[in-house]
């Protein structure tokens, strides 16, 4: 602390303990607090800091008013330090998940669109595996991919997830876009089974941000058919679009599975020409889904089929390989 440019660097390679200590010092601003955070002694923390500064060849902190403040060099290095520490934290979480061997359980992550179908799928799974503990969570496809890679979940289900070398994919169903609104918003189409995309161009649409595959499909499809985007209101989630539609604030365009929990509150129409998107399951390579995971995916396929019979716009369910 106070060796700005005074010592030549021994090596450009920082060690893990250096990264942990610098990250703790950036958080706490003092050697004693950082040492407590890392569960090491204060002299050990001081030695690690001195060695880190010797390694990089410049001072990392200067003392002012009893606290440590990062030097200009460290401020430039800090984003990289935080990124590296995040990677270390991911390693720790993965190790903990690998080391833990609890009672039989299945951890499932899905896109929010499937929330309305999970009770039916879980009921069928529970009948087959009554002692199995199931943990359900939801997230966008990139969050589900990360959770899968960290082994925080066993199987994920998402719309059109991007390819990844460590992940195996299985097609579950071919879904498609629908519009959902109160009858008053749909006018003469309220009693129809389908609506032409061109007719939606004259309606007050609720725009879905293109932050997920369905949103990107809506954006491309709408641009091709002359929909009035940007719309007066835009949302990031399918549920938010449907909630606004349920209040009579416009017409939502989403996938046909998201509307499950909103019927019969909303009138749902197929959009023609049909715009398809695949629903896929994801598991880590190598190997195939566990017996429990395969049973869940089978139950989910059945739930999608039964949902179609209940009035949800039908999806083309794909048989398991």
Give the list of residues 6+ apart from residue 141 with CB closer than 8 angstroms, or none. 111, 158, 159, 160, 161, 162, 212, 213
| Residue 130 burial class via C-beta count within 10 angstroms: exposed 0-12, middle 13-18, buried 19 and up | exposed
- Rounded-to-integer distance, Cα 6 and Cα 121, Å: 66
pLDDT of residue 14: 73
pLDDT of residue 290: 83
pLDDT of residue 147: 92
Through-space distance between the first and last CA atoms of the chain, rounded to whole angstroms: 62
Q: What is the CATH number of domain 16-99?
A: 1.10.10.10
Q: Which CATH number fits domain 105-173+278-317: 3.40.50.620, 3.40.190.10, 3.40.720.10, 3.65.10.10?
A: 3.40.190.10
Give the phi and the psi of residue 164 in degrees, each rounded to 5. -145, 135
pLDDT of residue 309: 40
User: Which ranges in the chain are annotated with CATH 3.40.190.10?
Assistant: 105-173+278-317
User: Which ranges in the chain are annotated with CATH 1.10.10.10?
Assistant: 16-99
pTM listed for this prediction? 0.64
pLDDT of residue 4: 43
pLDDT of residue 87: 77
pLDDT of residue 310: 46
pLDDT of residue 64: 84
Residues of the chain whose pLDDT is less than 50?
Answer: 1-11, 102, 309-314
pLDDT of residue 99: 60
pLDDT of residue 254: 94
């Amino acid at each position: 602390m106070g060796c700005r440019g005074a010592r030549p660097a021994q090596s450009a390679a920082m060690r893990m303990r250096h990264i942990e200590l610098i990250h703790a010092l950036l958080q706490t601003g003092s050697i004693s607090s950082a040492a407590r955070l890392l569960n090491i002694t204060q002299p050990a923390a001081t030695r690690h800091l001195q060695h880190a500064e010797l390694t990089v060849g410049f001072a990392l902190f200067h003392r002012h008013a009893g606290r440590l403040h990062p030097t200009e060099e460290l401020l430039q290095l800090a984003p990289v330090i935080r990124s590296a520490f995040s990677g270390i934290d991911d390693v720790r979480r993965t190790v903990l998940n690998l080391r833990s061997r609890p009672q039989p359980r299945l951890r499932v992550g899905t896109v929010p669109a499937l929330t309305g179908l999970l009770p039916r799928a879980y009921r069928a799974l529970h009948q087959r595996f009554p002692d199995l503990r199931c943990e359900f969570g939801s997230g966008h496809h990139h969050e589900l991919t990360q959770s899968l890679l960290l082994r925080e979940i066993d199987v994920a289900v998402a719309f059109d997830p991007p390819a990844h070398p460590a992940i195996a994919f299985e097609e579950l169903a071919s879904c498609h876009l629908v519009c959902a609104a109160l009858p008053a918003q749909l006018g003469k189409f309220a009693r129809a089974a389908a609506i032409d995309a061109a007719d939606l161009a004259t309606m007050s649409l609720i725009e879905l941000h293109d932050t997920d595959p369905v949103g990107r499909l809506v954006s491309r499809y709408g641009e091709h058919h002359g929909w009035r985007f940007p719309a007066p209101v835009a949302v990031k989630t399918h549920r938010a679009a449907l909630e606004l539609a349920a209040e009579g604030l416009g017409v939502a365009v989403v996938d046909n599975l998201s509307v499950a929990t909103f019927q019969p509150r909303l009138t749902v129409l197929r959009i023609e020409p049909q715009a398809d998107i695949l629903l896929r399951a994801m598991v880590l390579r190598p190997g195939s889904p566990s017996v429990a995971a395969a049973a869940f995916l089978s139950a989910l396929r059945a739930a999608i089929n039964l949902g179609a019979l209940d009035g949800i716009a039908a999806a083309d369910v794909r048989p398991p390989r």
